[in-house]
DNA sequence: CTTTCTAAGCTTGTATGCAAGACTTGTCGC
DNA sequence: GCGACAAGTCTTGCATACAAGCTTAGAAAG
């Protein structure tokens, strides 16, 4: 397993270290997170790791398979649709209820869009994944409602896991333009339009998923061997083992 | 402390037993939930209680005060407003996005309204509190989105804690009528109207709160001594101790 | 060569023990 | 009478130990 977090993250807590690893797509769905393994990484006992896992399970980020271990969730197609539906409901609701965009808020959004642009230019895909999710959290932060921010943060984490599972290619530019359009509408003060654009944007991303693709049980091995990812052409009848 | 749950709840888990106690207003905000105390109630070790508490803390239902104990949250006025704002966003978003009311769904809602009516007639306040919160969960269930259902369930739990802290009197009939109006709009197929009514309903309930009232640290003692509840007339400058 | 059964190893599940800190209460000094 | 202080008690924080079950590797039989 790759190092799931820098050492300094001991301060911020095990939970956030793992979530941060997911948000930046360093941790893949289905990754096993053994208690003793994580415990030694953070130089603590299994007890604290377990407590962190319990919290993460509550947040829908990891799941436990009894006596087998903890795993980063691999959302099913159904769950994926629910996550997107929930995000549509919440984000659209947020924007619709917004009344004004403060100059401070506008600056933050512009700064974020600039970061997106820079990451696209640099081709830093990991950073890009993180930023694309963060955009929606930034919007929630404008409302000042920390409850909704936390909810959206967890949904974003799940979204990233979903895209790692079902997204064949990542149209970063398309998403970026979507974000720009939303911000533009907000600057016009037309929050209903922003809400509609947000729904469209999420629809667009969801449509880009291939939800028929079964989660690939060999993904991590494939990745370790530097093989190309599973092609969308042969999704369902891929052989379990390679025949010689 | 009153028995916070029937013995049979051992099966459903400690978490849900406590949440159920809150949803039915048997557990007041600020209640201390000592680890050993709860552990002996459920005949388990502190370990499992601790795990349950961790999950409940993540859900915003309990808080830990270091080396002092676990307490059912006492939402501040700010948090209270955030909870209501979040509920407005989610519930309105849900209704707005709904497209049809199935006959099954209609039956469920009617059954629920009938239960509310019966509880009002019977004057069963505890049951009523539970039902009033459940109504909104029923609506979320119609969407089939279990993620949103779980989110709303936790928000409802917090709402009940809020009303126990800040609601001087409980206008059950008013809330019931609000629910009836929402269902009526849904039956007409006018989900935008239902959404608007839902926002109005939540506004109405929130307006009925007295958010200036400070949480009463002596509430449980007062209750134990059968003294009358703190009057709203002298909220802030009430003496810490009675002067002889 | 294939299949089946068994046993060992590794993983989580749960309890318990000890340590550190906070609050209470009793006592002493003023 | 009143305030400060200190010991004791009670609480959580954390680590460790043991039990139970899943997985897998290896041996044996067909």
Report pLDDT digits (tens) over B68-89. 999 999 999 999 999 999 999 9
* Residues B101, B107 contacting (CB under 8 angstroms): no
Contacts of A244 (CB under 8 A, 6+ apart): none
d(CA B89, CA B83): 10
The nearest alpha carbon in chain A to B147 belongs to: A82
pLDDT given for residue A214 in this prediction: 67
Element containing residue A64 per DSSP (H, E): strand A62-65
pLDDT given for residue B147 in this prediction: 98
Contacts of A88 in chain B (CB under 8 A): 93, 97
Q: How confident is the model at residue A226 (pLDDT cuts 50, 70, 90)?
A: low
Coil/strand/helix, residue B171: coil
Which residue in A60, A92, A146 is closest to B82 by CB distance? A146
Domain ranges within chain B, ordered by starting residue: 7-74, 77-207
> Is pLDDT at B232 greater than 70 in this prediction?
no
Q: Give ∠ CA B1-B7-B8 in degrees, rounded to 5.
A: 145
Domain A77-207: CATH superfamily is: GntR ligand-binding domain-like (1.20.120.530)
User: From the CA of A33, how many Å to the C1' of C11?
Assistant: 11
- Does the nearest atom of strand D lie within 7 Å of B64's Cβ? yes
pLDDT given for residue B212 in this prediction: 84
- Does the nearest atom of strand C lie within 7 Å of B193's Cβ? no
Size of interface A-B (CB pairs under 8 A): 76
- Does the nearest atom of strand D lie within 7 Å of B47's Cβ? yes
B39 nearest nt, CA–C1': C15
> Is pLDDT at A232 greater than 90 in this prediction?
no
Q: Which of A141-145, A212-216, B191-195 has the lowest mean pLDDT?
A: A212-216
User: From the CA of A155, how many Å to the C1' of D24?
Assistant: 37
* Positions in chain D where some atom is under 7 Å from a protein CB: 11-17, 20-23
**Which architecture does CATH list for A7-73?**
Orthogonal Bundle (1.10)
- Does the nearest atom of strand C lie within 7 Å of A49's Cβ? no
d(CA A101, CA A74): 37
Q: How confident is the model at residue B242 (pLDDT cuts 50, 70, 90)?
A: very low
> Is pLDDT at A120 greater than 80 in this prediction?
yes
Mean pLDDT (whole number) for A69-94: 97
Q: What percent of chain A has pLDDT over 70?
A: 83
> Is pLDDT at B220 greater than 70 in this prediction?
no
The nearest alpha carbon in chain A to B140 belongs to: A86
Measure CA to C1' and name the residue nearest C12.
A67
Q: What percent of chain B has pLDDT over 90?
A: 77
pLDDT given for residue A169 in this prediction: 79
pLDDT given for residue A82 in this prediction: 98
Q: Could you report the predicted ipTM of this complex, rounded to two decimals? A: 0.89
Mean pLDDT (whole number) for B132-152: 97
Mean pLDDT over the full length of chain B: 87
Q: Give ∠ CA A100-A101-A107 in degrees, rounded to 5.
A: 170
- Does the nearest atom of strand C lie within 7 Å of B67's Cβ? yes
Q: How confident is the model at residue A213 (pLDDT cuts 50, 70, 90)?
A: confident
Å between B97 CA and nearest CA of chain A? 8
**Which architecture does CATH list for B7-74?**
Orthogonal Bundle (1.10)
């Amino acid at each position: 397993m790759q190092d799931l977090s820098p050492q300094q993250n001991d301060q911020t807590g095990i939970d956030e270290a793992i979530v941060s690893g997911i948000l930046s797509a360093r941790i893949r769905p289905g990754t096993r997170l053994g208690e003793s393994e994580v415990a030694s990484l953070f130089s603590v006992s299994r007890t604290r790791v377990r407590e962190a896992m319990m919290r993460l399970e509550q947040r829908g980020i990891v799941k436990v398979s009894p006596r087998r271990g903890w795993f980063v969730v691999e959302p099913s197609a159904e769950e994926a649709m629910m996550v997107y539906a929930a995000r549509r409901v919440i984000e659209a609701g947020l924007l619709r209820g917004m009344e004004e965009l403060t100059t401070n808020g506008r600056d933050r959004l512009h700064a974020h869009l600039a970061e997106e642009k820079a990451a696209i230019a640099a081709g830093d895909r990991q950073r890009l994944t993180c930023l694309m999710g963060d955009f929606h959290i930034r919007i929630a932060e404008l409302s000042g409602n920390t409850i909704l921010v936390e909810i959206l943060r967890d949904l974003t984490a799940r979204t990233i896991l979903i895209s790692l599972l079902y997204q064949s290619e990542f149209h970063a530019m398309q998403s970026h333009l979507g974000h720009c359009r939303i911000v533009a509408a907000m600057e016009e003060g037309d929050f209903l339009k922003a809400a509609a654009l947000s729904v469209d944007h999420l629809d667009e991303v969801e449509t880009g998923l291939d939800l028929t693709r079964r989660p690939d049980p060999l993904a991590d091995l494939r990745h370790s061997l530097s093989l190309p990812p599973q092609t969308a052409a042969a999704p369902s009848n891929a052989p379990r083992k390679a025949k010689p």
